[in-house]
Structure 1
Amino acid sequence: MLPDQQFLRIPGPTPIPPSVQHAMNLPMIGHRDQETKDLLHSIKPKLKPVFGTNQEVLMIAGSGTAGLESAVVNAVQPGDEVLVIVTGAFGDRFAQICTEHQIATHRYDVKWGEAAEPEEIEKYLKSHPHIKAVFATLCETSTGVLNPVKELARVIRQHSDALFIVDGVSGVSGADVKMDEWEIDILITGSQKAMMLPPGLTFAAVSERAWKVIENNSRPSFYFDLAKYRDQLDNDSTPFTPALSLLFGLNQVLELMEQEGLEAVYSRHRQMMNMTRAAFKALDIPLLTSDESASPTVTAIKPDDFDPDALRKVLKKEFNLTVAGGQKHLKGSIFRIGHMGYCSPADILQTIGIIEVALNKIGKPAELGSGTRAAQEIMLSGGS
């Protein structure tokens, strides 16, 4: 293992492209000068296709959780009834944020590792007619589940007047999402996942329908007042000091996505998902999620005959390969591999090959090359 060589395969933060790192090292500029206005003017139209929207995408200095809280405080008020679809740790976080803000929070808990079922949400909405907003997670990072957001949006529209607010933090730019077409009202993401940037930026796209609700929300807000960001962005500015180095990097990220093409970006993520899943099936190691519910950005593996944390320790100590562990009640029972953003099928082949060696080192018999071969076959077939 070379001391400066590391392999980061967690579901965020993710590796950063060298050209993006270079862009972030550009000299600092005045955040109210014309150069910043020009930068924001360049970024604005390139962000919209990533969200699948014609709305402006707001950029806020803060983590993905800042985006989640901004959605809550702008779209609902204390005492309002909301439904939070909880399919893992980050659905639970949405529920915690709502509860902290004295919102009447209904939880619909789904077994971790499974996706929400639109038919069940339809039944819930019919029996709770006063719900003002429904919160859901596009990709549940803690379990590797991709929720059927398009279908959830359809039943919410058909059976309620509720806003549909989606945490897309580990999904947007790695999974195809069409905010306008699917009628999502607020879509949030963060910089450190498939967006290929360090932590520190959150993004929010807001529908016209949601803006009407926000504008009639009497609840006071200062930093998280989305209307302030909207109004300033119209003038190619921000209401507060922007994270300029991250904006330099974001501009380059969007250039890279345009060069590759968004459909190719999504196809690459699906291919890496299929390679990873095929590898562990070949190694006879169980996966947490079904193929139908699997996320293209992160895969959760649930071994039944070895300690996943023991594997993670060997991977880190001997190969400087970092994979994620489980969260909450899944801690110690799963490990997760991130395959999003600046990650290629070649990186997945390397990751699987290292894991095969590490499995044998912890006493788990694994036929060397079997998982790698399965991933190679997916790669050769173009299986995305």
Structure 2
Amino acid sequence: MYSNILRHPGPTPIPKKVQLAMSQDIISHRSEEFVKLFRETTNRVKPIFGTKQEILLLPSGGTAALEAAVVNTVSPGEEVVVVSIGAFGDYFVSICEKHGFHAHVLRKPWGEACTSEDLATFLEPLSNIKAVFVTYNETSTGILNPVKELAKVVREKSDALFIVDGVSCIGGVPVKMDQWGIDILVTGSQKAMMLPPGLAFVSVSDRAWKVIEENKTSAYYLNLLSYREWAQKGMTPNTPAITLIYGLSAACDLIEAEGFDQTVARHELMKDMVRAAMKALSIGVLTSDEYASPTITAIMAPEGINLSQFLGHLKKQYHLDFAGGLGELQGKIFRFGHMGYCFPSDILQAISLIEAGLQDFNYSFEPAAGISAAQKVFLEAQKK
């Protein structure tokens, strides 16, 4: 049986080096060996977050880390601002409302970013805002919010904490948590970090720790004070995903060998290749170039083609597996993930198979137009 070519926005392909690292013999999470592994590995993640703060590891998916960021900083009845530009911004809204927080929601149409002007105008009449929650990379639309600029607005317009969901981009985009003024930054293992699902990362500023210490959260499993206490010992409060931490060490090897600046540049290049190919094939993309995500591209259904049938055909005939649209975009777009263990050669392969599928559906285009456009972008980048 053939393996599918996974081009989803998560989970993403796992490097062989990471797979082999995870096959090592298990060790106790209370052993000296684990303490060494934990401390060395979390320290190596800090540059990826752009922080000197501790990296806390939660044995969970990214959603649990989002909930931890919420319940540790806000108490029932307090007011927050949530910026939602898609399905995962709505996650923050749901979490806040579930816990009894008063959420002021800044909604943008799906496919648009939240600008600093948008946020400044929204915050102007508000007061007593405890936290502002923003999605850095909106997986449902392929938008990268201008988090650096949004952080500056929050600092200028309020005393609120600035809390960022970086689940679908950290490891593939630039981020300077300390320098930009991000108070809590979270991500998950199964995206650009090149690991299987099951591990979440949280980093917290000194300013946010002061709020958390006074908040008296009712959380037990997601109590960040407990994670901080145990991290100081080189451990986690509960049994962690030990094999994933082995894998994380190997993933750090790969990122360090490439150089993180080059990792970021590779993601930008793959984004440009995909967008150029779709333009050459007269297939629309959802977002503008200015705010396009380096880790995922939302691609419109080719004109005259039933998208569900087309994606099913690509998977069955060519073993090429894309994600469909979510919510209001279901049936209108498909999502091309290009993050983590993905390279320009993988982009060229996927575009070639898309073209084969388009021919099968009698879509009119110049043969190899997409491949040629993507290859041109790639070759020009090599000259720089």
Q: TM-score range by the shorter chain?
A: over 0.9
Q: For 2:82, which of 74, 81, 84 is the aligned residue?
A: 84
1:305, 1:273 → 2: CA distance?
25
TM-score, normalising length: structure 2? 0.98
1:139, 1:271 → 2: CA distance?
17
Q: Following TM superposition, by how much is the alpha carbon of 1:260 offset from its aligned partner in structure 2, in angstroms? A: 0.6
The residue number in structure 2 matching 1:143 is: 141
The residue number in structure 2 matching 1:299 is: 297
The residue number in structure 2 matching 1:359 is: 358
Q: Following TM superposition, by how much is the alpha carbon of 1:34 offset from its aligned partner in structure 2, in angstroms? A: 1.1
Q: For 2:128, which of 126, 130, 139 is the aligned residue?
A: 130
Residue pairs, 1:127-276, within 5 angstroms: 127-276=125-274
SS at match of 1:239: coil
The residue number in structure 2 matching 1:101 is: 99
Q: Following TM superposition, by how much is the alpha carbon of 1:282 offset from its aligned partner in structure 2, in angstroms? A: 0.3
Q: Following TM superposition, by how much is the alpha carbon of 1:131 offset from its aligned partner in structure 2, in angstroms? A: 1.2
Q: Deviations over 1:108-146 (max 9, x none)?
A: 110001100111211111111121110000000000000
- Which residue type is aligned with residue 256 of structure 2? E
SS at match of 2:10: coil
Is contact 1:357-1:368 (8 Å) kept? no
Q: Following TM superposition, by how much is the alpha carbon of 1:176 offset from its aligned partner in structure 2, in angstroms? A: 0.6
SS at match of 1:364: coil
The residue number in structure 1 matching 2:349 is: 350
1:5, 1:154 → 2: CA distance?
45
Q: Following TM superposition, by how much is the alpha carbon of 1:44 offset from its aligned partner in structure 2, in angstroms? A: 2.0
Q: Which moved more, 1:307-316 or 1:171-180?
A: 307-316
The residue number in structure 2 matching 1:331 is: 330
The residue number in structure 1 matching 2:308 is: 309
Q: Deviations over 1:268-321 (max 9, x none)?
A: 000000000000000010110000010000000113432222221111010111
Is contact 2:199-2:244 (8 Å) kept? yes
SS at match of 2:26: coil
Is contact 1:269-1:340 (8 Å) kept? yes
The residue number in structure 1 matching 2:71 is: 73
The residue number in structure 1 matching 2:380 is: 381
The residue number in structure 1 matching 2:46 is: 48
2:340, 2:242 → 1: CA distance?
21
Q: Which moved more, 1:89-98 or 1:228-237?
A: 228-237
Q: Following TM superposition, by how much is the alpha carbon of 1:14 offset from its aligned partner in structure 2, in angstroms? A: 0.1
SS at match of 2:72: helix
2:128, 2:228 → 1: CA distance?
29
1:307, 1:335 → 2: CA distance?
12
SS at match of 1:335: strand
Q: Does the alignment pair 1:12 with 2:10?
A: yes
The residue number in structure 1 matching 2:33 is: 35
- Which residue type is aligned with residue 267 of structure 1? A
Is contact 2:271-2:293 (8 Å) kept? yes
Structure 1 residues not aligned, in runs of 5+: none
1:306, 1:111 → 2: CA distance?
25
Is contact 2:2-2:319 (8 Å) kept? no
2:288, 2:214 → 1: CA distance?
42
SS at match of 2:124: helix
- Which residue type is aligned with residue 128 of structure 2? H
1:302, 1:76 → 2: CA distance?
38
2:292, 2:18 → 1: CA distance?
29
SS at match of 2:151: helix
Is contact 2:217-2:223 (8 Å) kept? no
Structure 2 residues not aligned, in runs of 5+: none
SS at match of 1:29: coil
Is contact 1:356-1:367 (8 Å) kept? no
Is contact 1:58-1:233 (8 Å) kept? yes
